[in-house]
Amino acid sequence: MLDTALYDAYFFDLDGTIFIGDRLLPGVGKTFAALRANEKKIMFLTNTTVQTRADCQARLEKLGLCVEREEIMTAAYAAGLYFQQQADSARVLVVGERALAAELASFQIRQVQAPSQATHVLVGMDRTFTYEKLLLAADALRNGAKLIVANPDPVCPVPGGAIPDTGALAQAIETAGGATVWAMTGKPSRFYAEQVFQQLNVRPEQCLIVGDRLETDILLGKNSGMKTALVLTGVTTCHELERAGIRPDFVLPTLDGSAHDRQEQQQCR
């Protein structure tokens, strides 16, 4: 089990770290009970764009974890923060689902349908993605709109496998529109890290981030000065870890496992 007394704040990914589908992963309940008992700051950091913070809160509570909405940061909510802080007069063409549009609307960011009106194209996961949506986004980019991507995740883990995620759609839109990504709002972007540090009023060295993805969760921690723990309940396997250039500080088989500051390869054996 994680050392729940060592850090001031603990950040957790959701899919593949806390749950998969409707199943809470091993050790989660015990870990959070200990963190609450030690009065630690907690925040859930997810790259989802298909659930609002309220949706995530309801899902966690259904699984038995009592959380506040302010303890959740999604890539969709971070996109709203991005436009509020850096382009509040933007006219955004959204490629995504209800939750992404809803989070933008909560910040009163203007959304448009016509490519000629768009100053930005915002891409999230979209399970209704069509050729027409690809065409509209590409036209907007060719008209000078900036491409904002919620996250780089190529796939999303689901029970029994994975489905295409934001990164896969963003690459298609980049190619069709002849443009490159202007900014990213989710993990592992510096913008995302700055928002969570500000919300909890903590310094990076006071924090531990736990996640199942090297290129988002662990890289977010490495780039921002946090300690990092990879949990092997999601997309990253021991074999992939051994070949990767990103090295977490700790590796856990599950949140029930013990985390020791030693070589990752030893913990995978």
Q: Would you name the residues annotated as active-site residues?
A: 13, 15
At 26 the three-state DSSP class reads coil
Distance (Å, rounded) from C-alpha 146 to C-alpha 120? Answer: 5
Tell whether the torsion through CA atoms of 233, 234, 237 and 241 is positive or negative: negative
Sheet holding 207-211, edge to edge: 72-74, 41-46, 9-12, 207-211, 227-231, 250-252
- 8 Å CB contact between 75 and 33: no
Note if the bond before 188 is cis, omega within 30 degrees: yes
**Tokens matching residue 111:** 């959304």
